[in-house]
Amino acid sequence: MNKFAYKALINLFNVPYMRRIRHILPLILLVCFISINGCKKDKTPGPSGATGATGATGAQGDIGATGPQGPQGPAGGPQGATGATGATGATGSTGSNGTNGTNGTNGATGATGATGANGATGSNGTNGATGATGAAGATGATGAAGATGATGSAGATGATGSAGATGATGAAGATGATGAAGATGATGAAGATGATGATGNADVNTYLFSNKSISITGTNFNVPAITQPIVDQGLVLVYMSTSSSGPWYPLPYTQGGTTISLVNYSLGQISLIASTNQTGIYLKVVVIPGNSLTQLSTANPHLNFNNYNQVASALRLKQ
């Protein structure tokens, strides 16, 4: 500030108060104008004055507005080494059991496994001891002679002599005496031998039992034709039916879980048994001696004894 401005300020403070107020503004402007001009003209700066004493610290101003956030700082340092594993904590108390889960659905049935191989065949058991030879049966009685064959046909009649001439009819005379018998004609040649007749059944006996019962404990039937020779060498056939007209089935007979069987035959009787008590049964019993059996087998080598119709036909039995 030049000396003229300084003096002007001194004079301003020496004037009365009211006058200073009235002239303060023009003087401030004037001082600023003179200072600016003085600075322009004085190009050589003067020496620096002594530093004045530091003024008292003014009251703190209001906090300014928050500035914008600065850029993010660099990342932290490298990760530290892993710390040692801490001691295992005490085991906690056992929790309560959870509820049972629902049952799963059944899986599909697996395929049937292949059939296993057959087991090895077991070894044969030891043969049982040979039974003692039974005593020889008694010789059967000689069968009756067969029936006599049929008589052969009569020989041819000899030729008749020629007739004499007829005489004239005379008057009827008295009856003459009986003339002598004429000579016997020559015997005719023997006829051819007839064919052998079928096997007879004179020794075969049959019996019919009608509407009989057979129990589970056994039932006997009287058959007088069963003699000791029949037991030893003959044959007894038994057939059953539920009707007197057949059909006839050989014993043993099974149907629907029921069985009727011939247990045995002995002198004068047969013994039958059933698995359940039976009623309304018809029986035919055929008794064949040993010699007739031999002839029957020879004449009919393929005869089926289980077929009553074949047996009846071969033996010419009444149906």
**Tens of pLDDT, residues 204-237:** 999 999 999 999 999 999 999 999 999 999 999 9
> For position 93, what pLDDT does the model report?
73
> For position 193, what pLDDT does the model report?
40
- Please give the Cα distance from 137 to 230 (Å, whole number): 12
> For position 99, what pLDDT does the model report?
72
> For position 23, what pLDDT does the model report?
61
76-95 burial, b if ≥16 CB within 10 A, otherwise e?
eeeeeeeeeeeeeeeeeeee
If residue 297 lies in a helix (H) or strand (E), which one and from where to where? helix 290-299
If residue 293 lies in a helix (H) or strand (E), which one and from where to where? helix 290-299
> pTM of this prediction?
0.40
pLDDT by 10-residue block (mean), the chain, 319 residues: 58 55 68 61 62 72 71 62 70 66 64 63 57 48 46 47 51 62 58 43 85 96 95 94 93 93 95 95 94 87 91 84
Nearest 5°: the CA angle 221, 316, 219 is 10
Nearest CA to 259 among 294, 216, 227?
216
> For position 232, what pLDDT does the model report?
93
> For position 164, what pLDDT does the model report?
46
